[in-house]
Structure 1
Amino acid sequence: MSRPPIYPFILLFCFFLLPSGIQSNDLQILMKLKSALQTSNTNVFSSWESRNSICNFTGISCNSDDSITEIELSYQNLTGVLPLDSICQLQSLEKLSFGFNYLHGPIMDDLKNCVKLQYLDLSNNLFTGWSVPEISSLSQLRYLHLKLCGFSGAFPWKSVQNMTGLVSLSLGDNPFNPSPFSNEVLLLTNLTWLYLSNCSIQGTIPAEIGNLKELTNLDLAYNNMTGKIPVEIGNLVNLWQLELYNNSFTGKLPIGLRNLTKLEMFDFSNNYLEGDLSELRFLTNLVSLQLYQNELSGQVPAEFGNFTKLVNLSMYRNSFTGPLPHNLLSWAKTGFIDVSENFFTGPVPPDMCKQGTLWLLAMLQNNLTGEIPASYANCSTLRFFVVNQNLLSGNIPIGIWGLPNVVHIDISFNDIDGPITSDIKNAKSLVYLVAGHNRLSGELPTAISEVTSLKSIQLNDNRLTGEIPYMICNVSFLEILDIANNILKGKIPQCLGNFSYYLRVMNLGMNNFEGTIPDTFAKGNQLRTIVFNDNNLRGLLPKSFIYCSNLEVLDLGNNMINDLFPYWFEALTNLQVLVLKSNKFHGPIGNHNTRGVFFFKLRILDLSHNEFTGLLPRNYFENFNAMMINDEGRHEPHYMGESSQYQDTMVVVVTYQDSVVVTMKGLEIKLQRILTIFTTIDLSSNKFQGVIPEVLGRLTILRLLNLSHNSLTGHIPSSLAKLSALESLDLSSNSLTGEIPLQLTDLTFLAMLNLSQNQLIGPIPRGKQFATFENNSYDRNLGLCGFPLSSKCGTNELTQPAPPSAFQEDNDSLFASGFGWKAVLIGYGCGLLFGLAMGYVVFKIRKPKWLVRFIEGKQKDKKRRPNNQRPGQRRN
């Protein structure tokens, strides 16, 4: 019996063996990949077991012969280094996707061996410190996504020029070397998606961009591109997303944009574009239009009111004028509109919340007039209602205070009147209530205490009356309480001190509060600003102020506090503004035996119009480091208390800014905002004695110095010439002697100088700023001479006689009537003889009682003040 041929069995064996061999090899590659990666997602590799078919592994796809074609492991929290040398041995691999993980380490040139790849996504990983690997051999790629990988070095323009089949190219958000937009990309005419945002592209957009007619998405945002936007961009009629924001484009919106009728997302914000919006009138499919921070002008086309799909409109910081279309966003199912910082006029469009789904309305800093439409009281979805700094008037419609989802209400700096209604208790989500600088009246409703989510209550500069409801302390997360400049009265609730764990700003100034300051400030409180100025507060300073370790601003001016200077304030190491002016403080300050560094951050010190005595506080001056060193040169100047936050929107929320009243040129001026480079010392109208310390010359960035109306003696120290930033110097009404130091002419910023009513002598320095000061800067210093005074130095001759006194005028009239010099001389002679005789009588018989009573009585009358009011004391 013959044997059957063996070769069919061999073929059959090979038929079964071949796939098994492929699977075995691919399995080894996948196991190596698994061992190289780690993840917190335990489900990723749970199916990667040798007993399972690799085609059933999570993220793995195979073709009909069970060879691997796809590895899709995006969004899996993977970490580690990709073993691309192994992965690219998968001969059938067409898709490799590891986007949105935490992979790191180098991507070697092994990637070039994945020649069959059509889809490559390594975006949003942590590959840092190296350039894009060689990928020019991947000519079959249709999708290349490498954005936000940390690639650096040269932009891979030439690597992509052979990929003529590319449909989607995403290389943005990588720190490439700056380079111009290259022609290589312009050859990829099949592109539908081009994402090159934030990758250091410079120069202009080439006109040839119009050749990429298949584009649906073009994103060149966050680059350094300049010049005009080419008109050829109007050829990209398939675009639905066009984003060129955060560049430096100039010129007008290009003609031809009207052709892009499929556009839904349009963002040209933060450039230097100008002109009007006429080219956008026909883009009826727009869903989002972002044009903020440009130089655009003109009116908003009325056609915008017919954009039935528009839900996002942001045009703030331009120069738009005229009224807004009355039906703007009236069709929107959701709504976001920000047209702030323009010149819009007319009323607030009434229909923007017609569908009841508007969630943000920001119109701050315009010229809008009229009342807030009543329809907004039905806008239950509204979260941000920001219309401050307009010309709005009338009452707030009933219901707006209590919108159920509102987070931020800002109607400040308008002319709105009426009360805050009790329906505010329904605003359970309200965080910021900002309504200062209006004409709101009535009492603070107790219902405000039910809005426990509040962080900021700013109702300053209104006409609110009554007392602070004690229940306001139930708002336990409150950070800012500013109710200054109203007509509130009563005592300050004691609880305001002990619920201050979150409270940072407490401004109750310019009201009619009375009694004492609560002594209940708790340990660990966060208070940064305390302002109680211009009230009727009495008594002593509360010792619990010592627990306000974060305190930067303390203003207690214009009250009736009667206390010694609080030396224990030296422990408040963050204090920058200290105002105790116009109270009844008394006794000496400083110059005690306390050692250490204190008040080193102090920038503004105002102790004027009190009754402080003794020497000027030399040891305090030695510690005023913030007035010696300018650390602002490395940073942009900013304002004290400035705090900006973004609330899921482009609207910048400035929560609070400190203010202070300073005296300049004899006038009280309110600084609505305090630059951190502003420094001043005002110790005027006290009873200080002694000399001006030389150490003041170390305060080289001091801008205002007022030591007037004291009893200071000695010379003006020449060290004051080192105050190179000084703008105002007032040393008037003291007893200073000597000459004016010539070195003071070096104070080139000095705009105000007052040395009047002293005992200064000698020539007035000439030149520079001293050439601008007039006579009143030197009045009643009889020993001074030179310009601008009429008295010449070195002679008693007057070039211009002083105005005659009343006595002189009377004498002149007598001389004119014939009462001549002879009669005058006879009178003087007789008077001299009478005086000698009286002197002899007094010497012989002691003081006659009638003469003593007459003379001493006159002296007492001269010393008696006409009233008991202190200088600078406010009348109640």
Structure 2
Amino acid sequence: MASYLFLCLFLFFPHLYASFSSSGSHSCSSLIQFKDSFSINQKRMLIYCCSWDGVTCDHLNAHVIALDLSCCWLYGNFPSNTTLFLLPHLQKLNLAYNDFNLSKIPSEFSRFTSLFYLNLSYTEFAGEVPSQVSHLSLSLAGCGLQGKFPKNIFDLPSLNLLNLLDNQLSGQIPRSLGNHLQLTHLDLSWNQLSGQIPLSILNLTQLEYLRIAGNTLEGSIPDEVTAFPNLIYLGLSDNLFNGTLPSWLYTAPSLKRIILSQNQFSGHIKEFQSKSLEMILLKNNKLQGPLPSSIFQLLNLTYLSLPNNLSGVRVIEFSMFSNLPNLKYLDLSYNSLSLTSNSTSRLKSLERLDLSCNKIEGKIPQWMQEVGNVSLTYLNVSHNSLTEVEYFPWKNIEFLDLSSNLIRGNLPIPASTINVFLISNNSFTGEVSSLICNASSLQILDLSHNNLSGTIPQCFGNLSDSLEFLNLKKNKFYGTIPTTFAKGCQLTTFNLNGNLLEGPLTPSILNCNDLEVLDLGNNKINDTFPHWLGSLPQLQVLVLKSNHMHGSLRINSSKSIPFFSKIQIFDLSSNYFSGPLPVRYINSFKAIINLEKIGSTVSYMGVNDPRSGFYTYSIGIVMKGQYMELVKIFTMWMIIDLSNNQFEGGIPKVIGKLTLLKGLNLSHNNLNGGIPTSIGNLTSLEWLDLSSNRLSGTIPNRLADLPFLSSFNVSENKLHGQIPQGKQFNTFGNDSYQGNKGLCGFPVSKGCNIIEPAPPNVLEKDGSKSNITFGWKVVLIGYGCGVVFGMSVGYVVFKTGKPKWLVNLVEIQHEKKRRRKSKDGSHSNGRRRI
């Protein structure tokens, strides 16, 4: 490793060393020659430099022919005077996984006349590929390339390998792709490519590896029976392809791996003629049955994932798969299947089995217990109708998902090898044995939505080094929260919502520095607000709702502490908190103020597990007045719920700083004063509930400009004045305002009598009357009496030029009362629209 670091430093910091021989006749001299004052033993030098990690030499000619400088921790602009370019015999160069800070790819690479392989994957190069390197095979995976697909890449006449995996390239794949008859390896996966695959791709008869997964490509796959005679790997998953599967897919003689999952292919699956197939993944398409019998004759088949919702297939004899001796991965999920087996399964090598979302009923069958008794590491039988499980026979199981079944009885404990254990949404009863803590590598544990009881095993704290996700929601656990979380705790989510837990919170939670979600809602926790939770640096979701928590949220410390700087959901509703609203916390919510960058690169909060994929967090919140159980938490949800407490005082103006806030609920408190106009700054707000307080004043007109506000409630307050009109406010019903006797205007039944006082220029300085003619204020006076009356008065004034009534408002009031009484002997409410 020391020699490897020396090589990296030497090549990219040439000023540390002497000038080099321009002839390049001694390649190793270009690697280690220092100043002229140093004498060098050429023979020993050759042996020395060729022993370095990453250096390959042609010992016959003393030439460096290959360099592997990947993962060299290099950072900064790529130097144009690097001694790297003084190695003219170089044939292979790997610079992957360095950071060249958006440097341009140097044209000096053309000096390597013998170079045929160049790997620039994940190097943060930017710009165009220089035409001078047209003789190379290129790997540019993860380079951060952006913009339209670079057509000039296909101007390289000798191209036989092109890897643009994991960039941000957009646009369509150019037709010129088909001009590269020597191309053997093409990977354009995980970009932003659209459109169709050009027909010219059929010209690539030498192609062995074709992968364009993870884009938005559509249309059918170009089809020709004799296409791709040398193709070994086909990966087109996670696109929008449709139509039937191409005919060459069934006949390509060399094809070993077919990965077409997550598309919209339709039609029937035909019989496979190639016996070389090792992998067939067709999950999540619109393909239909029946299953081709040829699948059960593919003796080399190792991975098999069949389409979901196969029509015409309802019962499968599981022993049919026993004809596949090399099968390690089998996915039959989402097929509404009943699986039977009349004989003991011979699938002793099976490692992964997914039978989720089918119609498997009753006790876990014997054949399932015997499948891969030793080899099985992954089993998913969730979302079936299983009712009983006596024990778990799989000795090396790592992932076990029994969630969403009908299983009753005590909870069996899996083997100590378990990493992911999911049994939510069943009817398990009894206590959880502390034997579960023997699983020292347990990472994800979800026992939620059962009838488990007893105390929570204290030994969970001993799993701090491994446990990331702990969900015990909706059970009957009682006692206190475990106090044994040790330093180095790896928990990212801790959910105890909906149990019978009591006592104060444990400060040992502070040892869980990576905690993102803490949900202790709907328990019997009796404590003051745990201010110390604010120092958890990654905390994004805090739910303490529906407990017996009390006291003020006022912070006595004068120190400037970044409380809850990453918080996105803050729910303290239905407790006994009192005092003023927590201004200091609001000022610290940097993620909602848009000062703290949200680091997640995924759309939902969760844990990424290599075996099970992305496991999302869930939460129950009140959204737009309705309680909702959210299976996923969107990373951009910003919600504050302080409702059903005893907070008092005014709503602070600083709440207008929370520009990313989507939901705000301050209802059922003792808040007074006015609604701050600064709430009009919350342009992302979707719901606002200020009901059942003692708020006074008017509703700020600025709230009508909130573009996404779809739920609004200020009922049961002391508000008065006209309700803002137009835009979103035209969609709110009368129940949004009931209990405010002073409010008027649409949609409440009380109309607004808008009377303008006489303008200052009605009387001139000398006391004479001004000849004011018709104006819109005259029409507004008529608002309470009707459009016709208001307009007619305006017309009279305009014609006569004698507006005596402007200074006699009392007469107008009498006239309005008279007109109300004259209608059918009843009193009109005076509400009219203009």
Same-fold call, TM cutoff 0.5: yes
Displacement after TM superposition at 1:584 (Å): 1.5
Following superposition, the deviation at residue 517 of structure 1 comes to 2.1
Mapped to 2, the partners of 1:232 and 1:202 lie a distance apart of 10
Alignment of 1:498-513 (within 5 A): 498-513=462-477
Partner of 1:298: 266
Q: Provide the rounded CA distance (Å) in 1 between the counterparts of 2:503 and 2:204.
A: 78
1:599 maps to 564
Residue type matched to 1:411 in 2?
Answer: V
1:203 to 174, 177, 188: 174
Match of 1:544?
508
2:130 counterpart residue number? 154
Q: Distance in 1 between matches of 2:469 and 2:539?
A: 14
1:230 aligned residue = 199
**Aligned pair 1:660/2:619, yes or no?**
yes
Among candidates 310, 314, 318, match of residue 277 of structure 2? 310
> What residue is the counterpart of 2:452 in the other structure?
488
Q: 1:482-502 CA distances to partner (integer Å, 9 max, x unpaired)? A: 100011111211222343232
Equivalent-residue separation in structure 1 for 2:431 and 2:655 (angstroms)? 44
Match of 1:613 in 2: 578
Partner-residue secondary structure (3-state), 1:299: strand
With over 3 angstroms needed to count, the CA separation of the structure-2 counterparts of 1:732 and 1:258, relative to structure 1, is same
Answering whether residue 545 of structure 2 is matched by residue 584 of structure 1, we say no
Q: Is the 8 A contact 1:233 1:257 kept in 2?
A: no
2:488 matches 1:524 = yes
Q: 1:433 is paired with a residue of what secondary structure? A: strand
Q: What is the rounded CA distance, in whole Å, between the counterparts of 1:294 and 1:776 in structure 2? A: 45
In structure 1, the residue matched to 2:829 is none
- Do the aligned partners of 1:791 and 1:798 also contact (CA within 8 Å) in 2? no
When residues 208 and 711 of structure 1 are mapped into structure 2, their CA distance, relative to the original with a 3 A threshold, is closer
- Letter of the 1:638 partner, please give it: S
TM-score, normalisation: structure 2: 0.72
CA contact (8 A) 1:106 1:130 kept: no
For residues 226-625 of structure 1, the aligned pairs below 5 Å read 228-230=197-199, 233=202, 236=205, 241=208, 243=210, 245=212, 251-258=219-226, 263-267=231-235, 273-280=241-248, 282-283=250-251, 285-292=253-260, 295=263, 297-304=265-272, 307-316=274-283, 318-339=285-306, 346-347=313-314, 350=318, 351-363=320-332, 366-371=334-339, 378-389=346-357, 395-398=363-366, 400=368, 403-412=373-382, 414-424=383-393, 426-428=394-396, 430-446=397-413, 448=414, 451-593=415-557, 595=559, 596-625=561-590
The count of residues paired between Structure 1 and Structure 2 equals 684
Query: 69, 73, 79: which one pairs with 2:55?
Result: 79
* Inter-partner Cα distance in structure 2 for 1:515 and 1:686: 25
Match of 2:648 in 1: 689
Query: Matched residues in 2 for 1:82 and 1:107: separation?
Result: 18
Within the candidate set 183, 186, 201, 1:220 is matched to 186
1:480–1:506 CA contact under 8 A, matched in 2: yes
Answer yes or no: is the 8 Å Cα contact 1:36–1:81 preserved in 2: no
Q: Percent identity?
A: 31
Given that 1:410 and 1:435 are in contact with CA atoms closer than 8 Å, whether structure 2 keeps it comes out as: yes
- Provide the C-alpha distance between the structure 1 equivalents of 2:51 and 2:284, rounded to a whole number of angstroms: 38
Letter in 2 for 1:576: Q
Whether the aligned pair in 2 keeps the contact of 1:439 and 1:462 (CA below 8 Å) is yes
Contact 1:378 1:399 survives alignment (8 Å): no
The counterpart of 2:737, out of the listed 768, 774, 778, is: 778
CA distance in 1, matches of 2:430, 2:717: 49
In 2, the alpha carbon distance for the partners of 1:440 and 1:418 equals: 4
Structure 2 vs 1, CA of residues 307 and 36 (structure 1 numbering), >3 Å: closer, same or farther? same
After superposition, the Cα gap between the structure-2 partners of 1:632 and 1:325, relative to the gap in structure 1 and judged at 3 Å, is farther
1:569 Cα offset (Å): 2.5
- What is the alpha-carbon distance in structure 1 between the residues aligned to residue 201 and residue 680 of structure 2? 64
Could you tell me which amino acid in structure 2 is paired with residue 747 of structure 1? L
Residues 504 and 526, structure 2, Cα contact 8 Å, conserved in 1: yes
CA contact (8 A) 2:118 2:139 kept: yes
Q: Quote the residue 2:154 is aligned against.
A: 181
- TM (normalized to structure 1)? 0.68
CA separation of 1:99 and 1:372: change in aligned 2, threshold 3 A: farther
Rounded Cα–Cα distance in structure 2 between residues aligned with 1:716 and 1:764: 13
Question: What is the CA deviation profile of residues 688-734 of structure 1, one whole-angstrom value per residue up to 9, with x for unaligned ones?
Answer: 22222222222221111111112222222222222221111111111
Q: Distance in 2 between matches of 1:361 and 1:75?
A: 46
Shift of 1:393: 5.0
1:133 match:
110
Which amino acid letter does the alignment assign opposite residue 403 of structure 1? N
In structure 2, stretches of 5+ residues that fail to align are: 1-22, 33-41, 73-81, 99-104, 756-782, 787-834
Deviations 1:122-163 (A, max 9, x none): 354789844453688x9xxxxx8434379984346876xxxx
**How many angstroms does 1:198 deviate by?**
4.2
Shift of 1:421: 4.1
1:460/1:261 CA distance change after superposition, 3 Å = same
Return 324-333 or 509-518, whichever deviates more: 324-333
Report the residue type matching 1:789 in the other structure. Answer: V
The aligned amino acid for 1:179 is: N
AA aligned opposite 2:690: L
Q: Summarize the Cα distance change of 1:198–1:673 in structure 2 as closer, same or farther, 3 Å threshold.
A: closer
Q: List per-residue Cα deviations over 1:205-246 (Å, max 9, x = no partner).
A: 46666xx6xx7x73333398975443783794xx58352535
RMSD across aligned positions (CA): 4.3
Distance 1:789 1:766 in 2: 12
Separation in structure 2 between the aligned mates of residue 660 and residue 249 of structure 1, nearest angstrom: 35
Mapped contact 1:316–1:340 kept (Cα < 8 A): yes
CA separation in 1, counterparts of 2:537 and 2:157?
61
Aligned to 1:755: 714
CA contact (8 A) 1:327 1:352 kept: no
Distance 1:436 1:235 in 2: 47
Q: Which whole-Å CA distance do the structure 2 matches of 1:470 and 1:710 have between them?
A: 43
